[in-house]
Amino acid sequence: MKDITITTQFSVFDSIQELPADVQNLMEQAVAVRKKAYAPYSKFKVGAALLLDNGKIVLGSNQENAAYPSGLCAERVAIFHSGANYPEAKILKIAISAASDTNTTNTPIPPCGSCRQSMAEYEIKQEVPIEIYFMGEVGAIYKSASLKNLLPFMFDKKFL
């Protein structure tokens, strides 16, 4: 037996104002669309904003359903909308903001496993890393230069 070590690296911004201007705009849009989320059951709202290489910004918010798990996360709402409407465009950056109606989220909230797998599919397909920025309602923002930091052992079509 042998052990392997996997390291990841993230950049940390103390506030939205520290982000580069284009990412600041993207995060502000993620915050705005988060407030439109439909989350009557979990009371946990998430917004996502994608910047495509064609300059378009695609938004998504989580959409819950009483017939759980029929709802969909914000990240996948935006990614699938992008894939359906701009199939040739590459996703350059994703900004994600999450907030709870019951308490203040003041630490960065990363994407769930299903969203990570969906992002992996697009990052592998487009052969260009996707920058991922994520935050809670307030506080620091984490930046990952690629999905590989969040999902180092990605499952993709080469395993099929």
Is 25 exposed, middle or buried (CB count within 10 Å of its CB: 0-12, 13-18, 19+)?
Answer: middle
H/E/C letters for each residue in 20-33? CHHHHHHHHHHHHH
Choosing from 18, 75, 88, 121, the catalytic residue is 75
85 is an annotated ligand-binding site residue: no
17 is an annotated ligand-binding site residue: no
62 is an annotated ligand-binding site residue: yes
89 is an annotated ligand-binding site residue: no
103 is an annotated ligand-binding site residue: no
115 is an annotated ligand-binding site residue: yes
Decide if 88 is catalytic: no
The candidate with the shortest Cα–Cα distance to 50, out of 12, 14, 80, 13, is 80
User: What single-letter DSSP state applies at residue 41?
Assistant: T
Whose structure tokens read 């996707």?
130
Residues annotated in a binding site:
62-68, 73, 112, 115
Residues annotated in a binding site for Zn(2+):
73, 112, 115
Residues annotated in a binding site for substrate:
62-68
Report the catalytic residues. Answer: 75
